[in-house]
Chain A
Amino acid sequence: MKPRIGFGERVFDGSNTVLMLALVVVTLYPFLYVLFASFSDPADLLQHRGLLLAPTGFSLESYKLVFDNPMISIGYLNTILYVIVGTALNLTLTSFAAYALSRKGVRFVGPIMFAIVFTMFFSGGLIPTYLNMKQLGLLDTRWAMILPSAISTWNLLVMRTSFASIPAALEESARIDGANDFRILLRIFIPVSLPIMAVMTLFYGVGHWNAYMDALIYLRDRNLYPLQLVLQEILITNSTDSMMSSVADVDKGLLQETIKYATIIVATVPVLLLYPFLQRYFVKGVMLGSIKE
């Protein structure tokens, strides 16, 4: 049965559609502008006014300079390392904690949970945290990008809720077969919670890819810089000169703009390419988090 669609309904649907299309344009256009500008001829781009609907002229010069820049490759490699090692540690510790704290009959679970949740509401703050890292001798080491963020308490709570809902019978039968807790976690809990493990991998992974603050605070040695800190130098503090040592002075001003655009594209492409495939997992993750407060 098709409901009657009155005039008011049609106006509502029409304006809603227009509004949503406008939102899509506003969301996507900045990326498109950057993409078009990055392939534009620097001189043409300087002349151009207003929106871009396609590259003006065509040039790969800025991409060439970006790829030739050693800092971009250093940043890329460091970030990949931090993502892989960091996420592996995140998943190990978070699943340990979630498993241990969701088992029955374990002593001190209550106080431990309280101490863990308390850190969501109160922390030492920037300066004591920095001094602590200094005291530990972790400043200017790769560990500074991995250890301080080893567990996200929020993710821990989500995973614990999920582990708590796994039937005890599964665990008991494995225990009768002589499996210890490490085996039960690895062979039973993780396989039956693959969706949530996927979500956690993605949340942690994206977190490491985008991590910027810890690098800004803890790292001075440029060889340890992650991509985001390199990006900050190029995009925010405008230091593109180092990339253009081979470029004549007159062209530097021209290239400065397009280099920025090419840098944004190079740094964002992995996320943009993976996004369509991973998107449904992300959404699932938010839902999981919202099931239980």
Chain B
Amino acid sequence: MNILRGWSRHKYIYLMLLPVIVYYVVFLYLPMYGLQIAFKDFSPAKGVWGSPWVGFDHFVSFYDSYYFWRLIRNTVLISFYELIFGFPAPILLALLLNEIRVRIFRNVVQSITYLPHFISIVVVSGMMIDFLSSDGMINQLTGLLGLPSVSFLISPEWFRTIYVSSGIWQGVGWGSIIFLAAISGIDPSLYEAAKSDGAGRFRQIWHITLPGILPTIMIMLILRFGTLMAGGSMEKILLLYNSTTYETADVISTFVYRRGLLQMDYGFSAAIGLFNNVMNFLLLVAANRFSRKINNTSLW
């Protein structure tokens, strides 16, 4: 009775696993079961199971809707700008931090730049809104220089800049940690050799440090590509946008939030959410496969 003995020997382990499995089933897999409402004309009275099937109707009407291309564009663009500006920033910071000779100064700069990561998104957005308001600190400063006042918060053309730059402000220090860790793993004798060959600091960075952290950069880049359809953080966009900036600020997730939770159009918005999730999933799988092919680094 080998099987029974195995069960009883580990009975406490299965007891520990029980609440864990219950958690994943109830809070993560039950919603996946509920995803079928994306293909149904869902009404709360009939419930998930009782509502009639409508096939791909929701997807078709989303594709045909006026918002479709605007949402796709905004979603991709906000991720894209985050990628091209937000991705290199922590790498650059790590390279520069690594070049600081005075240890204490370096530690102080690191500690200070990590700090904003722990400030809540509500506070960060609140500060942005205050500083950027038409009579806020930024407009006061530009006013002193004789420049006209800009209504940053209600100008669609400013939204992405505000979103991406505040993201860099909050995340650049924290993001640099992983690259600093990679740098610290580089063999110091390489630098000695380069120095004796007369290489300056820029050449050392270019020929030793950067190649040394390239695998880390690749892994982080793959993770980023997987989020190209995620369209930034819904939380932060909900805090920073308003109806005057929807034109550039409204992404798929915020649209789902409004249509689903505020207007209670459940089936339709679940379908849009599913569409977005599937896109994210496929992108991540594709990015991973691509990376494995070109340089043997992959997530799984």
Residues of chain A at the chain B interface (Cβ within 8 Å):
3, 6, 8-9, 12-13, 16-17, 19-20, 23-24, 26-28, 30, 33-34, 48-51, 93, 96-97, 99-101, 103, 105-107, 112, 115-116, 119, 121-132, 136, 147-148, 150-151, 180-182, 185, 206, 209-210, 212-213, 216-217, 228, 231-232, 234-236, 257, 260-261, 264, 267-268, 271-272, 275-276, 279, 282-283, 286-287, 290, 293
Q: Is B140 an interface residue (CB 8 A)?
A: yes
Interface size class of B (residues with CB under 8 A): 35 or more
Task: Using known A-B contacts A12-B201, A206-B118, determine if residue A290 contacts B31 with beta carbons closer than 8 Å.
Answer: no
Q: Which of these, A49, A107, A123, A209, contacts B6 with CB under 8 Å?
A: A107
CA distance A103 to B9 in the complex (A): 12
CA distance A151 to B100 in the complex (A): 39
Task: Using known A-B contacts A50-B137, A124-B31, A271-B119, determine if residue A112 contacts B125 with beta carbons closer than 8 Å.
Answer: no
- Residues on A with C-beta less than 8 A from B178 are 286, 290
- Residues on B with C-beta less than 8 A from A268 are 119-120, 123
- Residues on B with C-beta less than 8 A from A8 are 200-201
How many contacting A-B pairs (Cβ < 8 A)? 243
Task: Using known A-B contacts A16-B99, A122-B277, A123-B277, determine if residue A93 contacts B181 with beta carbons closer than 8 Å.
Answer: no
Q: Which of these, B17, B34, B101, B144, contacts A100 with CB under 8 Å?
A: B17
B17 touches A96 (CB 8 A): yes
CA distance A93 to B21 in the complex (A): 10
A124 touches B28 (CB 8 A): yes
Binds A, one of B64-72, B78-86, B126-134, B243-251: B126-134
- Residues on A with C-beta less than 8 A from B119 are 210, 268, 271
- Residues on A with C-beta less than 8 A from B266 are 127, 131
- Residues on B with C-beta less than 8 A from A151 are 20, 23-24
Nearest residue (CB) in B for A268 is B123
B27 touches A150 (CB 8 A): yes
CA distance A109 to B38 in the complex (A): 32
Restricting to B236-286, which residues have a CB under 8 Å from any CB of A?
238-239, 253, 256-257, 260-261, 266, 269-270, 273-274, 276-277, 280-281, 284
CA distance A3 to B200 in the complex (A): 12
Please give 11 more A-B residue pairs, beta carbons under 8 A apart, in addition to A235-B126, A236-B126: A17-B105, A96-B20, A106-B10, A106-B13, A119-B24, A128-B34, A132-B34, A228-B122, A231-B120, A232-B122, A293-B219
- Residues on B with C-beta less than 8 A from A99 are 13, 16
- Residues on A with C-beta less than 8 A from B114 are 279, 282-283
Residues of chain B at the chain A interface (Cβ within 8 Å):
6-7, 9-10, 12-14, 16-17, 19-21, 23-24, 26-35, 37, 44, 48, 93, 96-97, 99-101, 105, 108-109, 111-116, 118-123, 125-127, 129-131, 137, 140-141, 143-144, 169, 173-174, 177-178, 181, 195, 200-202, 219, 234-235, 238-239, 253, 256-257, 260-261, 266, 269-270, 273-274, 276-277, 280-281, 284, 299
CA distance A105 to B26 in the complex (A): 27
By secondary structure, the A interface counts as helix
CA distance A17 to B45 in the complex (A): 65
A23 touches B113 (CB 8 A): yes
What 10 pairs across the A-B complex have the smallest Cβ distances?
A124-B31, A235-B126, A125-B273, A128-B34, A181-B12, A210-B120, A96-B16, A128-B31, A127-B270, A97-B20
A287 touches B181 (CB 8 A): yes
- Residues on B with C-beta less than 8 A from A33 are 131, 137
